[in-house]
Amino acid sequence: MLMSKKGLGLELSSQGLSFALATGGKTLRLDAGVSQPFSPGTIQLSRREPNIINPKAFVASVKEAHLRLLTKERSVSVALPDATGRVMLLDLEARFKSREEGVDIIRWKLKKSLPFDIASVHLDYQILEERDNGAVSLLVSLISRPVVTQYEELLIEAGLEPKYLDFTSFNLYRLFSPRLDMSDNGAFVTFYRGSMTVLIFHGGVLSFYRTKETAGEAQNLYREINSSFLVYHDKHPGQTVSEVFCMAEASDAEGFRSLVAEASGLEPVLLDLERMVTLNQGVGLDKAALSALAGSLGAAARSL
C-alpha cells in the first residue's frame, strides 16, 4: 500500500502559534493539531524591524508545541501574519525571459514608489495572467529581510526546517480553494487573527487584494469591507461580483456573515472548515479548536 504524503504547517501570530499535521488526498485529513498562546510580549508585528522581542520564549513555545504533535516531521510550511509584509497586484507591459529577470524588473518598477529601500526586502511573485498584447499581471509579495531572516533562524534553532513562508491570508485561500476555484467572479472575505482580508477574482484571476489589521468592531469591519467593494468597482467598472464567500473564527462566524452581507449587498456563503477537513481517528477537536488551526492547515496543504 502506498504511503500517503504528510504535510506539516505552522501558523504564527502575535497571540500564539498553531501546528497542523495533515495528509493529502481527495479530502485534507488532519492527523494532529496543536494551538498554543505566546507569553505576553513575545512578538510585536512590524514590516521593518524583527518581530520576535523575546527569542528565548518563542523558541521554547515552538519546541513545546512541536513535541505535543508526537511527530518526527520537521520540514514545515509557515504562515506569517499579513502585517509582517506587503502584497500588491502589479501590471507590466512586457513579459520577461526568466524569474531572475522578472525580479529585477519588479524591483526597478517599485523602486520609486515604496517608502523603503527595495534592495532590503525579499521579493517573490506569481504570474496571474498573460495577455495577448504581451502584458502580464502579477501578484507580488514583499517582506523585509531582517524580519523573514529572524523567523527562519529561530525556527531552525527550535529544530524545524522552514520550507515555505507565506502570508496567512493566502494559506486560508489555499485551504478553501477547492470550493473557491469553482467561482470565476467571486470574492473571499475573511476576518481571522485580528486581520480583515478581501480577495476578489474576475474570470478566475485575482484582480483585487486588501488586508487590514483591525480590532474587529462591527462598525470598523463594515466600513473596511464596504470600502473594499467600492474601490474594486471604481477600478474595474463593468466587472461584477456574482458570489461572495466568507470565513471567520468559529465564535465570530455567523455575525461576520451577516456583516459581510450588509457591506457587500450580496448574500455570502459561510465556508465551513468541517466540510473541508476530515479528522483522523483519535483526533478530538470541537468546532472552535479546529477553527484555530485554519492557518496552519492551509500551510500544511502547501506541502502536499
pTM: 0.94
Mean pLDDT of the 260-270 span: 97
Q: What is the pLDDT of residue 85?
A: 95
pLDDT attached to residue 20? 98
Task: Label residue 1 by pLDDT band (50, 70, 90).
Answer: very low
**CA trace torsion 250, 251, 255, 259 (10° rounding):** -70
Mean pLDDT score across all residues of the chain: 94
Place of cell 520564549: 57
Is residue 191 within 8 A of residue 248, CB to CB? The reply is yes
* CA–CA separation, 57 and 155 (whole Å): 12
Contact 24, 30 (CB under 8 A): no
Whose grid coordinates read 510550511? Answer: 77
Give CA separation, 163 vs 1, 16, 68, 152, 301, in Å.
27, 20, 21, 9, 13
pLDDT tens profile 183-194? 999 999 999 999
Domains of the chain: 6-83+145-172+275-302 (3.30.420.40), 84-143 (3.30.1490.300), 180-271 (3.30.420.40)
Least confident interval from 83-87, 94-98, 231-235: 94-98
Strand 186-192 relative to strand 136-144, pairing: unpaired
Quick one: 10 exposed, middle or buried, by C-beta within 10 A (0-12, 13-18, 19+)?
buried
Q: What sign for the dihedral angle of Cα 194, 188, 212, 117? A: positive
CB distance 22 to 31 below 8 Å = yes
The Cα angle at residue 177 between residues 92 and 3, in degrees rounded to 5: 115
Over pLDDT 70: what percentage of the chain? 98
Confidence at 272, pLDDT banded by 50, 70, 90 = very high
- pLDDT tens-digit readout, 2-29: 556 899 999 999 999 999 999 987 789 9
CB 192 within 8 A of CB 81: no
Q: Of 224, 211, 107, give the one whose Cα is nearest residue 167.
A: 211
Pick the closest to residue 294 from 19, 23, 67 (CA basis).
19
With vertex at residue 59, the alpha carbon angle to CA 57 and CA 166, rounded to the nearest 5 degrees, is 115
Per-residue pLDDT at 283: 92
Q: Residue 35: its pLDDT value, please?
A: 97
Return the ∠ at Cα 203 (arms to 200 and 207), rounded to 5°.
Answer: 35
